[in-house]
Amino acid sequence: MSDPFTEHKKLVIIGAGFGGIGMAARLVQSGERDFVLLEKSDGVGGTWWVNRYPGCACDVPSHLYSFSFAPNPNWSRRFAPRHEIQAYLEQCVRQFNLNGHLHLNRAVRTLRWDDRHRHWQIADQHGQTITADFVISAIGGLSRPGWPDIPGMQSFGGQVIHSQLWHGEDLKNQRVAVIGTGASAVQFVPQIAHEAKQLTIFQRTPNWILPRPDQAISSARKKRFARWPWLQKLARFGIWLIAECRVPGLMWSNRLAWGHRLLARRHLRRQIPNPELRKKLTPDYAIGCKRVLLSSDYYPALMRTNVELIDTPIACIEPDAVVDASGRRHTIDMLILATGFRATEPVPRGMIIGRDDQDLHQTWREGPQAYRGTNVTGFPNLFMLLGPNTALGHNSVVVMIEAQIDYTLKALEYMQQNQLVSMDIQPEAQRRYNDRLQRKLARSVWNTGSCGSWYLHPQSGLNTTLWPGFTWQYRWLMRRFRWKDFEFDSEF
Ligand code: NAP
């Protein structure tokens, strides 16, 4: 039989979000040209291309939520809106001449390791195929929408949309229900509250919410940053340092987060004068256990006469209503799901097949696990950006992504210098690394703070998403490629 895999590249990068574009840019900087960047959407940006709900923005200041090697002096606001972040990534594609490497509308369906040829076989949704010595997966941990399993969901007769799949829906004169009150909901609720005829918000767990200190960046400041880049670097460093100061309250003792707790309580008191509503919105778990939200307009939106917050659990959904556990029917025309993502199940079944036909989905059934969040035993020559336990509850993930990119470049350099064709992390090294990680996480507020969150795997209860510490600790860990922890093959 003839080999259907005709095109071969040294590297294939999957996903053109922060991870994929950052990796591609740094490859170009290092002189590497033999790679392609495959993106399933028809534009670049990853999460910032896909998520289009009103009010979508980043809750990490933009001067830190951007690449250290591609500073942008022109951010319009402290917290840039979605379209500006997406435009920044497009600008990076131009700046680093990535267009020739970028292939849009190419959704990778399967990645299969070929042990005989020691390369990956990659097939996309069009049936097109390619082989590669190395694959860098930058598909992100929050790209698969989480659909709630509520009785009667299928019977609903109106429109159902997930926050990630928003297409400019018209909410005028509609009675709308929103399920979920996490990071996405607090951004779009204030935007749609004045548009919908009636907005009913179903809250399962209240969140700790801090004021969002957003502001426009003056043109004088932008000019200063453009003229003296070190000034912008200093600003970035300051934002990073302040964010790092949150770690003790998350990792050492939650009592150290007293400042944020006071600030959040005062914010709630000031914005919600109604004691009954305030009670519904008061969390009963440790601050930081779930992601702390930033919003200055969510609470005021809940005070509107056309908005109602329901904290009674949902019993079922009927063709024209949501019925809560008290038996009350909330008649609606449209349902918006702000129910988050399948963060603990980031890889679909059958997508990544490693040595001995191992399906990564199956390997991770007790929760995703990797070595340094980047390599997985049995999946040679595969690097993951934002893999297991590299998400953050306190700082910019771009800092983590850059650490992983640098690490991957070092690993590739080592392979090339030593004329090696494949590398696989030793099972014992991966186990040791994760045992240590889980021991640290066991003491953290995410595991002990008496809340449920997407950080924890629903079956094993393990925290498979967050990095347990300061970002500098991760950078320090990733400063060297520890070849002793890997098995290598040098010849066919
Ligand atoms: P999320 O934070 O996971 O929130 C999901 C919400 O849906 C929660 O309120 C959850 O309640 C509720 N929910 C889930 N299943 C439910 C069910 N069956 N019945 C009733 N309620 C249900 O999701 P998200 O808001 O989309 O945010 C996810 C993550 O994306 C964030 O944590 C963040 O990392 C990222 N994000 C970032 C930004 C940013 O500005 N950087 C913005 C948006 C999102 P419980 O709390 O009780 O589980």
pLDDT number for residue 5: 65
Nearest CA to ligand 1 atom 28: 340
Query: Which of 363, 386, 362, 356 is CA-nearest to residue 374?
Result: 386
In whole numbers, what is the pLDDT of the chain averaged over residues?
95
Where helices occur in 53-181 by DSSP H, the ranges are 82-95
Q: How many residues does the chain have?
A: 492
Mean pLDDT, range 48-71, rounded to an integer: 96
Which of 58, 150, 204, 316, when mutated, tests ligand 1's pocket best, judged by the most ligand atoms within 8 Å of its CB?
A: 204
Q: Which regions of 281-438 does DSSP assign to beta strands (E)?
A: 293-294, 307-310, 314-318, 321-324, 329-331, 334-337, 352-353, 382-384, 422-425
* Per-residue pLDDT band at 2 (split at 50, 70, 90): very low
Q: Are 120 and 12 in contact (CB under 8 A)?
A: yes
Q: pLDDT tens-digit profile of 341-389?
A: 887 778 999 999 999 999 999 999 989 999 999 999 999 999 999 999 9
Instruction: Classify strands 159-162 and 35-38 as parallel, antiparallel or unpaired.
Output: unpaired
CB atoms within 10 A of CB 36: 20
Q: pLDDT tens-digit profile of 181-201?
A: 999 999 999 999 999 999 999
Which of 339, 342, 386, when mutated, tests ligand 1's pocket best, judged by the most ligand atoms within 8 Å of its CB?
A: 339
- Distance from residue 337's CA to the centre of ligand 1 (Å): 10
Query: Which of 430, 425, 416 is CA-nearest to residue 490?
Result: 416
Nearest CA to ligand 1 atom 5: 339
Q: pLDDT tens-digit profile of 422-453?
A: 999 999 999 999 999 999 999 999 999 999 99
DSSP string, 173-214: T-EEEEE--SHHHHHHHHHHTTTBSEEEEE-SS---EE----
Round to whole Å and give the CA distance between 206 and 203. Answer: 7
Contacts of residue 355, Cβ cutoff 8 Å, sequence gap at least 6: 113, 115, 378, 379, 380, 424
Round to whole Å and give the CA distance between 164 and 340. Answer: 8
CB atoms within 10 A of CB 259: 12
Nearest CA to ligand 1 atom 24: 340
pLDDT number for residue 345: 79
- Distance from residue 306's CA to the centre of ligand 1 (Å): 23
- Distance from residue 183's CA to the centre of ligand 1 (Å): 6
Q: pLDDT tens-digit profile of 149-187?
A: 999 999 999 999 999 999 888 899 999 999 999 999 999
Lining residues, ligand 1, CB within 6 Å: 58-60, 142, 148, 150, 163, 179-185, 187, 202, 204-205, 291, 314, 338-341, 452, 454
Round to whole Å and give the CA distance between 485 and 144. Answer: 32
Q: pLDDT tens-digit profile of 129-148?
A: 999 999 999 998 787 888 89
Which of 82, 144, 184, when mutated, tests ligand 1's pocket best, judged by the most ligand atoms within 8 Å of its CB?
A: 184
- Distance from residue 374's CA to the centre of ligand 1 (Å): 25
Round to whole Å and give the CA distance between 8 and 131. Answer: 5
Instruction: Report phi then psi at 129, rounded to 5.
Output: -130, 160
Q: pLDDT tens-digit profile of 448-469?
A: 999 999 999 988 899 999 999 9
